[in-house]
């Protein structure tokens, strides 16, 4: 439920409300992501996905790399969108019965809105339908938000790859979600 002050802003009744510019952006961003639809990534999405990637990753994939994943067998890439506007994406590769999460990124203006969680849950469910029995990923040791999300989703830390990331030689945590067929996403 919106507070009276927020509702005044929302309705446009109080043009001089005391909300900060950042608060106003968050309210508008929340409105934009209310009716998010998760759908397969298509070629038309790849430029926006690459922009989100550049804003999120220190070694971003190119537009061409994302185009190569569209419709590729053993590849599941999805976007979170509303009315054609892409807010984030996630992708994994199927390797035999393993789902290897490759990329997850959310537009910086729309982080902390549970879009990453929704995208990951979606691709894991698709992987399960394609026969995956487990899932794995690597994550930077310093990315505490991502580690927290993966842990919430049932992933456990199983190892470390020393100096895995070439840009700054940061270690990667290796995380696994075993028994995917017995997995229940949070809130379900």
**Residue whose entry in the numeric block shows the structure tokens 């890439």:** 77
150 is catalytic: yes
Task: Quote the pLDDT of residue 3.
Answer: 45
138 catalytic? Reply is yes
Q: Which residues contact 111 (CB under 8 A, 6 or more apart)?
A: none
Q: What are 17's two structure tokens?
A: 């409300």
> The tokens of 52 are what?
């989100």
User: How large is the average pLDDT for residues 105-119?
Assistant: 93
Residues contacting 40, CB < 8 A, separation 6+: 77, 78, 79
Q: pLDDT, tens digit, for every residue of 124-156? A: 999 999 999 999 999 999 999 999 999 999 999
CA separation for the pair 138, 131 (Å, rounded): 21
- pLDDT for the residue numbered 6: 43
Q: Is the pLDDT higher at 16 or at 34?
A: 34
pLDDT at residue 101 tops 90: yes
Instruction: Please give the average per-residue pLDDT across 67-78, as a whole number.
Output: 95
Domains in the chain, CATH or no CATH each: 20-182 (3.40.630.30)
Amino acid 13: pLDDT: 44
pLDDT at 74 > cutoff 80: yes
Reported for 21-29, long-range contacts at CB under 8 A and 24+ positions apart, including other chains, are 25/109, 29/109, 29/110, 29/113
Tell me the torsion sign for CA atoms 175, 164, 140, 142. positive
Out of 69, 89, 117, 150, the active site residue is 150
pLDDT by residue (tens digit) across 82-100? 988 999 999 999 999 999 9
Choice among 138, 157, 164, 165 that is catalytic: 138
Neighbouring C-beta atoms of residue 9, cutoff 10 Å: 21
- Kindly report the backbone phi and psi dihedral angles of residue 32, in degrees, each rounded to the nearest multiple of 5, phi listed first: -65, -30
What is the pTM assigned to this prediction?
Answer: 0.80
Token pair in block for residue 14? 């109080």
């Amino acid at each position: 439920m919106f507070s009276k002050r927020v509702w005044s802003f929302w309705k446009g009744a109080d043009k001089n409300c005391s909300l900060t510019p950042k608060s106003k952006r968050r309210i508008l961003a929340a409105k934009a992501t209310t009716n998010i639809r998760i759908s397969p990534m298509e070629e038309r999405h790849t430029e926006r996905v690459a922009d989100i990637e550049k804003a999120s990753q220190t070694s971003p994939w190119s537009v061409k790399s994302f185009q190569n994943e569209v419709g590729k067998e053993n590849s599941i890439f999805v976007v979170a969108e509303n009315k054609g506007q892409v807010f984030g994406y996630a992708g994994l590769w199927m390797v035999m019965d393993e789902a290897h999460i490759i990329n997850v990124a959310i537009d910086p203006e729309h982080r902390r809105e549970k879009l990453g969680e929704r995208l990951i849950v979606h691709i894991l469910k698709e992987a399960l339908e394609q026969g995956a029995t487990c899932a794995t990923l690597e994550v930077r040791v310093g990315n505490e938000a991502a580690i927290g999300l993966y842990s919430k989703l049932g992933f456990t830390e199983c190892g470390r790859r020393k100096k895995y990331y070439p840009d700054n030689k940061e270690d990667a945590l290796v995380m696994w979600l075993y028994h995917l067929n017995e997995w229940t996403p949070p809130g379900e």
